[in-house]
Amino acid sequence: MIVLSASFFLRSRWIQFRAIMGQSNSQLSEFQKRKLLHEFHTFFDLNKDGKLEVKDMHLAKKKICEMSGWKPGTEKYRKINELIIQIWTKLDEDGDANFDGRITEDEWLNMWENFNRRSLLKATKENNNGTTNIPDWLEKYIEYKFDLLDRTGDGEIDIEEYEYVMSEFGVPSKDARNAFIMFSENYQKKVDAVYFRELCVQLYRSDDPCALGNFINGRLNYTD
Ligand SMILES: [Ca+2]
Ligand SMILES: [Ca+2]
Ligand SMILES: [Ca+2]
């Protein structure tokens, strides 16, 4: 009887401990917020009006089509159009909490915090306690971003391609080149679709300031 009570006591303490940890871990750190807001403003809110709407996604499509010379009516144009619609439909579903057709900064951060919470519930050691999960729309977005960066279409991003595309988003050349050297581990790692995805997952989900994925958007630090 005494043994049973002791084990019951330990078990309830463990459940309490997990609940407390879960609650604090699902909240975004200041570092994560800065990273996510930088993404929001630099790569999503393309018309820079402080909110994310379907027209920002159309601007993203326009950018890739212009940079690639894809004209309306071509297969490439059709595919990117489809991809952009898929990304927006899912992103809007996840992020637009008040259904007004736009995602504000607060809604964007809440969406990530909710995702953190859901990931923690599904946490296993294999998926690094849930921190390697990403939303469906982000899978599609990473596909779009990789195609955008891999200008030659050889399945690999090189430093010139990276610098060129990042400059379209206002990233200074020097920062882009330094960032590339960091995340490619001084050109040792091939930046193919698999490694690019891994880096993007770190950018969106990791709270580790040393993760190489923090540099994938060309920014070198988040202290300001
Ligand atoms: Ca906007
Ligand atoms: Ca909204
Ligand atoms: Ca390439």
**Inter-CA distances, 34 with 141, 172, 221, 224, Å:** 20, 19, 10, 9
The burial of 10, by beta-carbon neighbours within 10 Å (0-12 exposed, 13-18 middle, 19 or more buried), is given as exposed
Residues with CB under 5 A from ligand 2 (ion): 96, 98, 100, 102
68-75: list long-range contacts, CB under 8 Å, 24+ apart: 68/151
* Within a domain: 171: yes
Q: How confident is the model at residue 15 (pLDDT cuts 50, 70, 90)?
A: very low
Measured over the CA atoms of residue 182, residue 113, residue 50 and residue 44, the dihedral's sign is positive
pLDDT tens digit sequence for 29-85: 999 999 999 999 999 999 999 999 999 999 999 988 998 889 999 999 999 999 999
**Cα–ligand 1 centroid distance for 58 (angstroms):** 10
Residue 45 lies in a domain: yes
CA 120 / ligand 1 centre spacing (Å): 31
Q: Which ligand is nearest to the CA of 190?
A: 3
- The H or E element containing residue 161 is helix 159-168
Q: What is the domain range of residue 61?
A: 29-215
Structural domain tally of the chain? 1
Is 5 a member of any domain? no
Nearest ligand to the C-alpha atom of residue 156: 3
pLDDT tens, position by position, 125-154 = 777 778 889 999 999 999 989 989 999 999
At 221 the three-state DSSP class reads coil
Q: Is-contact 195 189, C-beta < 8 A?
A: yes
What separation in Å is there between the alpha carbon of 97 and the centre of ligand 2? 5
Query: Is 9 domain-assigned?
Result: no
pTM, full prediction: 0.84
Backbone angles phi, psi at 52, to 5 degrees: -105, 125
pLDDT at 222: 81
User: Is residue 12 in a domain?
Assistant: no
pLDDT at position 21, please?
Answer: 47
Note the residue count of the chain.
224
Establish if 86 belongs to a structural domain. yes
* Domain presence at residue 158: yes
124 HSE (CA, 13 A, CB side) = 4
Model confidence over 198-223: pLDDT tens digits?
A: 999 999 999 999 999 999 999 988 87
Domain presence at residue 199: yes
Which CATH number goes with the domain that contains 149?
1.10.238.10
Does the pLDDT at position 97 exceed 60?
Answer: yes
Average pLDDT, the chain: 89
pLDDT at 104 over 60: yes
Structure tokens at 164: 């060129």
Which residues, by Cβ under 5 Å, contact ligand 3, an ion? 150, 152, 154, 156
